[in-house]
């Protein structure tokens, strides 16, 4: 349910960085989404404030770095990055930022297990799927807005549930 909050974060950050105009209609939509998420979280039987705080921090961090900053880099005047060039700069940053917590959290269990190996087939197939997916996200953010991309992602998730 917290994925629905991402549109609120994207809209707020886009307004903050002057990449989107503030409208009362847009804010009313965002408030209605947040009320729906709040009702869902309130009805949770195993509600944990610490988990909710971590999820909210994740939403802000992911959406700020992923969609809004990509939109700034692709659409700002004076910066002429195309999606492939942007990928060239973002991929090493993602590798470092994901490797550090992975190493901290999983090194001990990987060291203790005797079956630690790198599966080249799985790694390669995931990589060949992730590259066009990220390239598509960069192209869509360049042609539309980060908020549009986020709302489409929420609709996609809603359609995946019945299937």
Per-residue pLDDT of the chain (163 residues; tens, 9 = 90+): 666 667 777 777 778 877 778 888 878 877 787 777 677 666 666 777 888 788 778 777 776 666 677 777 777 777 777 878 888 888 888 788 778 888 888 888 777 776 667 778 888 898 898 888 888 877 877 777 766 776 676 666 667 677 6
Residues 6+ apart with CB under 8 A from 15: 21, 22
The residue segments making up the domain with residue 88 are 2-160
The answer, as to whether pTM is greater than 0.85, is no
Count of structural domains, the chain: 1
Q: Are 116 and 110 in contact (CB under 8 A)?
A: yes
Residue with tokens 């404030």: 49
């Amino acid at each position: 349910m917290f994925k629905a909050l991402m549109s609120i974060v994207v809209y707020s950050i886009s307004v903050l960085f002057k990449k989107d105009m503030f409208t009362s209609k847009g804010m009313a939509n965002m408030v209605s989404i947040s009320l729906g998420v709040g009702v869902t979280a309130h009805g949770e039987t195993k509600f944990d404030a610490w988990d909710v705080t971590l999820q909210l921090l994740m939403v802000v961090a992911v959406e700020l770095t992923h969609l809004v900053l990509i939109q700034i880099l692709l659409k700002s005047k004076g910066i002429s990055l195309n999606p492939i060039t942007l990928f060239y700069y973002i991929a090493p940053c993602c590798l470092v930022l994901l490797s550090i917590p992975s190493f901290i959290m999983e090194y001990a269990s990987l060291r203790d297990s005797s079956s630690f190996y790198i599966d080249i087939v799985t790694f390669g197939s995931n990589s060949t799927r992730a590259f066009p997916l990220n390239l598509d996200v960069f192209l869509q953010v360049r042609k539309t807005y980060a908020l549009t991309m986020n709302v489409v992602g929420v609709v996609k998730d809603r359609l995946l549930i019945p299937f």
